[in-house]
Amino acid sequence: MQLYLLALNPTDSVTEGFLPAARRLGLDVTVLTDQPEAHWAVYGGGGDGSGHVEVLECAVRDFHAVITRVSAHRGPDAVFSNSDHLQTQAALAAAYFGLPAKSWQAALRTKDKAEMRRALAAAGADTVWSVELPAGQDPFTVLAGLDVPYPCVVKPREGVASEDVVRAEGPAELARLCAEIQARRPQAALVVEEYLPGELLTLETLGDGRTRQVLGGFRTRLSPPPYFIEERLTFVPDRPPAVEAQVLSQLDALGVGFGACHTEFVVSGGRARLIEVNYRAIGDQCDLLLADLLEVPLFEHILRVHLGESLPAGLGVRTGRAARLDYPYARRAGTLTAAPGPADLTLGGVRLTYRPLRAVGEHHPLHHTNRDLLGVVRAVGPEQDAVDRAVTGFLAERTWEISS
């Protein structure tokens, strides 16, 4: 069977998750990407050494180009992407060939943060004060006369990974931040919305178009304001039923129900308020940890629903264990001069994995986003105290040094 996988840059989710899963399922995989050299470098000249992966250049942000490339190559059995930026294109291409697919409307609705707010308000699911700043427009002109609630958050309408997501405390700061982001992203529309207080939580779901199952979620610790870097995620198996029901109801209002979805929300006054919906599997190695923690073939399940198969009831997930991820990250610009290498350890019954995300010798500016991450520690164990001790001890015994 032929799987087309749409991608931009290589990611751990694809390289360590979806491609090995496709190989175990016996699929022939063609990666369509606008960055073929980067993928060839990872897969070894266009393949992963097993003959199951080929890489073809394609303008994957253009759904018409994707359809043409697939049509002129080999007949597809599935068209899939785990990229935030390519969900609508993958959905349109899959639908064109009559294959199982996400609703392209839902994919667009979740990717476009302004449209998501409008859709939730129109459905009566939740109303968050927000305004869209079209690309190239003067923020002073758009915001003039509006009763902006402070603090507020400004973000790219279609951004990811906390990039250019900043909290503003007042009008002058908001105008300055908007101008700075527009200078960096002249073609990007922005969204200004009220700041939603509360602990940041996630809900991870998987559906086959008929049923939807909750895999669990994470409690996220963020860096201090005004930025929103993810420092730590701790697995949370259960939420108050009323809160979970509110989140699922809002996903229904957006049309989300097929394939994997990663939803971020806060709870304030008993209300679940969505921050954003990423209509794909959770990233930054959380998906790898989730598969390990639950002991289910998560990536295979995701691919199977895109091949038209139904999810098994309950998925057979293992419960009763604890997990956590920590992300050491750069606090200043410079060259990484010292850092630990990869590690796979067992500490007091806790399985701990560390993977570097930046090589020693690399020089980087400070982004105030997830692009500042230096590495990721993921740990799974029998109970939370043991996991916390293992991760805290590992981090305390290692150093990451950055020189100017």
pLDDT digits (tens, 9 = 90+) for 215-238: 999 999 999 999 999 999 999 999
Highest mean pLDDT among 135-144, 308-317, 359-368: 359-368
In this prediction, residue 43 carries a pLDDT of 85
pLDDT at residue 45 greater than cutoff 80: no
Name residue 361's amino acid. G
Q: Phi-psi bin for 169: left (phi > 0), alpha (psi -120 to 50), beta?
A: alpha
Q: For residues 245 and 238, what is the distance between their CA atoms, to the nearest angstrom?
A: 12
Q: d(Cα 368, Cα 365) in Å, to the nearest integer? A: 9
- What is the 8-class DSSP label of residue 16? I
- Which one has a higher pLDDT value, 161 or 271? 271
Work out the mean pLDDT of the chain and round it to a whole number. 94
Please give the structure tokens belonging to residue 249: 């109801």
pTM of the predicted structure, to 2 decimals: 0.94
> In this structure, are residues 85 and 104 in contact, taking their beta carbons and an 8 Å threshold?
no
d(CA 335, CA 190): 31
In the structure, what pLDDT confidence band is assigned to residue 396 with cuts at 50, 70 and 90?
very high
Tell me, what's the pLDDT at 51?
47
pLDDT score recorded for residue 48: 43
- Specify the pLDDT at position 318: 80
What mean pLDDT is predicted for residues 258-265? 98
- pLDDT of 49 reads 41
Query: d(Cα 376, Cα 356) in Å, to the nearest integer?
Result: 7
Share of the chain above pLDDT 90, in %: 87
> In this predicted structure, which of 103-112, 130-139, 245-254, 262-271 has the lowest mean pLDDT?
130-139
- State the pLDDT at residue 52: 63
Average pLDDT over residues 340-355: 96
| pLDDT (tens digit per residue) in 102-160 | 999 999 999 999 999 999 999 999 999 999 999 988 888 888 888 999 999 999 999 88
Q: How far apart are CA 100 and CA 338, in angstroms?
A: 47
Assess whether pLDDT exceeds 90 at residue 207: yes
- Cα torsion for 383, 385, 386, 389, to the nearest 10°? 160
What pLDDT does residue 141 have?
82
Average pLDDT over residues 45-64: 77
- Residue 46 scores a pLDDT above 50: no
Please report how the helices 63-71 and 87-96 are oriented relative to each other, as an axis angle in degrees rounded to 10. 40
Q: Which pLDDT band, with edges at 50, 70 and 90, does 315 fall under?
A: confident
Residue 50 has pLDDT above 80, yes or no: no
pLDDT for the residue numbered 344: 96
| Rounded CA separation 247/250 (Å) | 5
